[in-house]
Amino acid sequence: MERQRESRSYPIGASIFREGDHGDRAFLITRGRVKIATSRGGTERTLAEMTAGDVFGEVALIDAGPRSADAVALEDTDLLEIRQSSLANTLGDTDPLVPLMLRVLTERFREAQSRVGTPEGELPQEVPHGSAFEELRRCAAERVELEEALRRALEMGELELHYQPIVSLASGVLAGFEALVRWRSPHLGLVSPEQFVPLAERTGLIDPIGNWVLEESMRTHASWLDDFRQAFPHEPLPYMGVNVSPAQITSETGRALLTNTLRSGALDPRLVRLELTESLLVSEPELVGRILRDLKGLGVSLAIDDFGTGYSSLRTLCDFPFDALKIDRSFVDPMAQCEDSRRIVRSIIAMARELQLAVVAEGIETEEQAELLTGFGCGFGQGYRFSKPAPRAEIDDLLRSRATW
């Protein structure tokens, strides 16, 4: 994947660019201090001093003209470079009004500069400031920093997997696992996937991250199979459930990575179950159908995740080659108190049986919920009632102790 933004460090005193240089990128200061100065007229004049969170050189993003001032590091400084080409790519995908508005704003900015007679390159008095602008700037800086940190997280080994057991409700024996990714950031602590997976999806980082999840979970699962065989010689081998984002599966890079990993031989793909959400099925059903059939051709099974929360029709359920359906926690949670929820859950289970889909109920927290579901004929369950998602070592212990529920 092309790196769209790059960090660079400048020692104290280093020149970042000079007046007249061709400009093709803007800079965000992530650490240190930068002076913007001009030597026109013989003597040097400082136009601005900037610190972490400030952006400079941004006009180059719009017009790629010559730099109108010098930029020098006043301390050891780290900068994030935002290249014009990457911005153009990103803008190409957005509403055409956005680039237009940017151009209009730059021109207004230039006009304002000439009206107040500010020397070229100097910030005019009415440069946008105030709290709304500050807020916008802070948000943008935080997002870019988070994205950079996530980009590095994979290289630095900061991602880890927890595994949550999935249990056969009739026998209480382990039937599978779900691999759930976490980010242990040295700065932010343990970050939940709900916070960083959407960012990874927007930036394309989900392709390498999702592939790492598949690789790592396949390797780990292969190492558990002997222990499982010893503990439960007469039970079918458990599967490893892996979440796959729609973004990952509709991107060619993401799909090629997944396919290679499934073919790698680390684990029999028949023991892998890919969990996909309904949102994948809504747009481009023909393309998605083909992709899912190709994946199934590699031997994996497919589950529809968070069932009942999306907008897919029953028709789409029949059209796609799913093997299992996961009932979303939002139906399981109120079951004990609410007759309507019980009716919905019972109907989903009956429908799944007709369609020959295995059913996994998510988010089972109480014995009462587990009993109701068993009574309705639900095959499998997952939730804190059995086990929270746990790091690899805890699952090692659980297998050795031959735990059942």
Residue 363 CB, nearest distance to Ca ion (Å)? 8
Instruction: Check residue 254 for interaction with ligand C2E (CB under 6 A).
Output: no
Helix, strand, coil distribution of the chain in percent, nearest 5: 45, 25, 30
Q: Is 275 in the site for Ca ion (CB under 5 A)?
A: yes
In this structure, the dihedral spanned by the alpha carbons of residues 115, 120, 121 and 123, taken in order and rounded to 10 degrees, is: -30
SS3 30: strand
Q: Which is nearer to ligand C2E, 121 or 389 (CB)?
A: 389
Bridge partners of 178, per DSSP, are 164, 241
Choices 33-41, 58-66, 343-351, 381-389 (CB under 6 A): range interacting with ligand C2E: 381-389
Q: How many CB atoms lie within 10 A of CB 307?
A: 25
Selected from 243, 316, 369, 382, the binder of Ca ion by CB under 5 A is: 243
Q: Is 367 in the site for ligand C2E (CB under 6 A)?
A: no
Residue 383 contacts ligand C2E per CB under 6 A: yes
Nearer to Ca ion, 78 or 306 (CB): 306
Contact characters 142-171, ligand C2E, x per CB under 6 A: ----------------------x-------
Q: Does 278 bind ligand C2E (CB under 6 A)?
A: no
Q: Other C-beta atoms within 10 Å of 157: how many? A: 9
306 binds ligand C2E (CB under 6 A): yes
Please report whether residue 396 would count as binding Ca ion according to CB under 5 A. Answer: no
Going 79 to 20 to 59 to 48, the CA torsion angle's sign is positive
Nearest residue to 219 (alpha-carbon basis) of 261, 258, 255, 260: 261
Does residue 213 belong to the site contacting ligand C2E (CB under 6 A)? yes
Give least dist CB 162 to ligand C2E, A.
7
Does residue 248 bind Ca ion (CB under 5 A)? no
Q: Is 58 helix (H, G, I), strand (E, B) or coil?
A: coil
Site for ligand C2E in 193-212 (CB under 6 A): 193-194, 197, 210
Answer left, alpha or beta for residue 60, where phi above 0 means left and psi between -120 and 50 means alpha: alpha
Stretch of residues binding Ca ion (CB under 5 A), selected from 201-209, 258-266, 290-298, 358-366? 358-366
Return the range that interacts with Ca ion (CB under 5 A); candidates 148-156, 190-198, 230-238, 357-365.
Answer: 357-365
Which residues inside 121-140 make contact with ligand C2E, applying CB under 6 A? none
Residue 32 vs 363, nearer CB to ligand C2E: 363
Q: Distance between CA atoms of 10 and 35, rounded to whole angstroms?
A: 13
Structural contact between residues 49 and 35, judged by C-beta atoms closer than 8 angstroms: yes
In the shown chain, the binding pattern of residues 7 to 36 toward ligand C2E, with x for contact by CB under 6 A and - for none, equals ------------------------------
Residue ranges in 232-355 assigned as alpha helix (H): 246-250, 252-262, 279-282, 285-297, 314-319, 329-332, 339-354
The nearest distance, CB 402 to ligand C2E, in angstroms, is 22
Q: Which residue bears the tokens 């020098």?
A: 72
401: how many CB neighbours lie within 10 A of its CB?
9
Q: Where are the alpha helices (DSSP H) in 37-129?
A: 60-63, 84-92, 97-115
- Given the complex with ligand C2E, which of 81 and 207 has the nearer CB atom? 207
Taking residue 64's Cβ as centre, other Cβ atoms within 10 Å add up to 14
Selected binder of ligand C2E within 365, 374, 394, 404 (CB under 6 A): 365
Q: Which part of the chain contacts Ca ion (CB under 5 A), choosing from 45-53, 184-192, 222-230, 359-367?
A: 359-367
- Name the amino acid, one letter, at 392: R
- Interface mask toward ligand C2E for 230-249; x: CB under 6 A: -------------x-x----
Is residue 305 close enough to count as binding ligand C2E by CB under 6 A? Answer: yes
- If you write DSSP's letter for every residue of 94-116 in order, what string do you get? S-THHHHHHHHHHHHHHHHHHHT
Cβ(318)–Cβ(356) below 8 Å: no
Give contact residues for ligand C2E (rule: CB under 6 A): 164, 180-181, 192-194, 197, 210, 213, 243, 245, 275, 305-306, 329, 363-365, 382-384, 389
Residues in contact with Ca ion by the rule CB under 5 A: 243, 275, 305-306, 362
